[in-house]
Chain A
Amino acid sequence: MTAARRLLRSIPSWQVTLAVALLTLGFLIATQLQTEAPRARYTSNERIPLVETAHELQTQQDGLKQHLLDLRQQIQTIESQGQGSAVLSHDLDSQVRQARTDAGLIALQGQGLVLQLRDSTKPSSPGDNPTDYAIAARDVRTVVEQLWLAGAEAVAVNNERVTVSTAIIDIGGSVLVNAAYLSPPYQVSAIGPAGLFDQLNGSAGFRKFVRTRVEAFGIQVGFAELKDVTIPAYAGVINLRYARPESTGPSPAP
């Protein structure tokens, strides 16, 4: 025993540090290899190019949306400069700006609420469907609907503005909003009156969501009431191919 102690004391401290570091290194390499192993099982020749294509298309989409927002901003700037009849043009410009604000084509900033939805970490019970423990489009839609009913005036999911044309759908275990692929966790942001969360939390619909999804399956819902929430502008298609407007709205001032 004494000999062993003497031997330990004889080892320089830097060698002990290096040994600990190498031990951790080995552990991390083993963990990394184990993490990669199950994924490799699902990886097939057809999936790899599909994943790459999806990533590429999503990146393209982000660029296209930014381009569209830039063009709309330039149009707005020119329109606000008011060519021709100054009074008529100014009045029309303010109507266009108001309509764009109503439509969600202009970003909005104000007091509000951010809810974060995460998959459950609870192990699924025997006989349960494992997908019940993950966030689905229906969950996101329910939260958005309950926020509208609680008085929200603008809502976004992971920075995708919810507009008149927004669909929230499932593709496998993922959620698409405005046809944009969103990665979990899902952050549902809303601007609304003070006490928006109290209103939401007191509603029968939200309580049912908590009972059936949070309490039953362990879906995680976090929230933060913020003085400053930004809901981005909608960057998508507003062209109508089948619907024709009946009028151009309120007449401009003479």
Chain B
Amino acid sequence: MRTPRNQFSLAIVAAILGLLVIVQLRTQSTGAGLEALSAPELTVLVANLNTRNDQLRAEIATTDQELRDLQGAKARGETSVDQLRLDLARVRAWTGLDAVTGSGVRVTISGPIAAAGVQDLLNELRNVGAEALSVADVRVVPGTVVAGPPGSLSVENRTLSDPFQVSAIGNSATLTGSLLRASGIVAQLAATFPQVQLTVVPVDVLRLPATTRNLLPAHGTPQL
């Protein structure tokens, strides 16, 4: 062990040992990742990622144009008030701070559905591109949750009657098709809650009210 040759041999073995330990640990940690998905699941994931990336590129193009307009206005010494107004209207409408109108679908629910069932429906509507949602004329915003036992559901401290309606603004054909497809959310809810009836109707003009909820953070500080 005293000779440099022996020390060199031991160092090589130790290095290989270390490398293998790292490879093994990494292998274990990625076991539950993409490699665990089947080919059909990966295909759905890739489609989702593609759609999302396309949407992000479109949003970047719009935002980039907005930035260039602002920079141009600033360079010319012009007012940015109009741009601010547009920005404000867009953000407030998206968030639910202002009422919005548009085409979409109305889902009428009657019977003893569980709160989780309504939450699943809202989640699916968001997933298929709904831009604004309301439950019994209560605008759905961050923090809005349908709660309570079946038959006594409430949203934002407002009791839901039987029947009640969920409204969604978006592409009415896409929304209707997604909700009503075989093994879609309506079929799933009908199977889970056999006593519940769900009716989906495309609507040309829906009006969703503004939220009454105060969304301004009271405990967090904005990182501007």
CB within 8 Å of B: which residues of A? 12-15, 17-18, 21-22, 24-25, 28-29, 31-32, 35-36, 39, 42, 44, 46-47, 50-51, 53-55, 57-58, 60-61, 64-65, 67-68, 71-72, 74-76, 78-79, 81-85, 88-89, 92-93, 95-112, 119, 138, 141-142, 145, 148-149, 152-155, 162-169, 171-174, 176, 178-181, 183-184, 191-193, 205, 230-231, 233, 235-249
Residues of A within 8 A of B66 (CB): 75
4 A-B pairs besides A95-B88, A145-B145 with CB distance below 8 A are A54-B45, A79-B83, A171-B48, A245-B99
A39 and B81 in contact (CB under 8 A), knowing A167-B127, A245-B93? no
How close is A75's CB to chain B, nearest CB, in angstroms?
A: 5
Min Cβ gap A29→B in Å is 7
Residues of chain B in range 181-224 having any CB-CB distance to chain A below 8 Å: 207-208, 215-224
CA gap between A106 and B221 in the complex, in Å: 10
Enumerate chain B residues within 8 angstroms of A81, measured Cβ to Cβ. 74
The total number of A-B Cβ pairs within 8 Å is 335
* Residues on B with beta carbons closer than 8 Å to the beta carbon of A13: 1
A102: chain B residues at CB < 8 Å are 95, 97, 215-216
Partner of A101, one of B13, B85, B124, B216: B216
Question: Min CB distance, B150 to chain A, in Å?
Answer: 13
Check A243–B100 contact: CB distance below 8 A. Answer: yes
- Main SS of chain B's interface residues? helix
A67 to chain B minimum Cβ distance, whole angstroms, is 6
**Residues B49 and A179 in contact, CB atoms below 8 Å apart:** yes
Q: Can you report 18 residue pairs joining A to B where beta carbons are below 8 Å apart?
A: A21-B14, A32-B23, A46-B39, A54-B42, A54-B46, A78-B67, A84-B80, A89-B81, A93-B84, A103-B215, A148-B142, A152-B143, A153-B220, A181-B34, A238-B59, A238-B91, A243-B100, A249-B97
B residues near A, CB below 8 A? 1, 6, 9-10, 13-14, 16-17, 20-21, 23-24, 27-28, 32-39, 41-46, 48-53, 55-60, 62-64, 66-67, 70-71, 73-74, 77-81, 83-85, 87-104, 116, 119-120, 123-124, 126-127, 130-132, 140-145, 147, 169-171, 207-208, 215-224
- Closest-by-CB residue of B relative to A38 is B31
Asked if B126 contacts A166 (CB within 8 A), the reply is yes
Beta-carbon nearest neighbor of A172 in chain B: B41
- Cα distance, A23 to B207, chains bound together (Å): 73
Q: How far is the CB of B110 from chain A (nearest CB, A)?
A: 23
Residue of A nearest to B144 (CB): A148
Indicate if the CB atoms of B100 and A148 lie closer than 8 Å.
no
- Judging by beta carbons under 8 Å apart, are A83 and B39 in contact? no
Contact of A167 among B38, B44, B70, B123 (CB under 8 A): B123
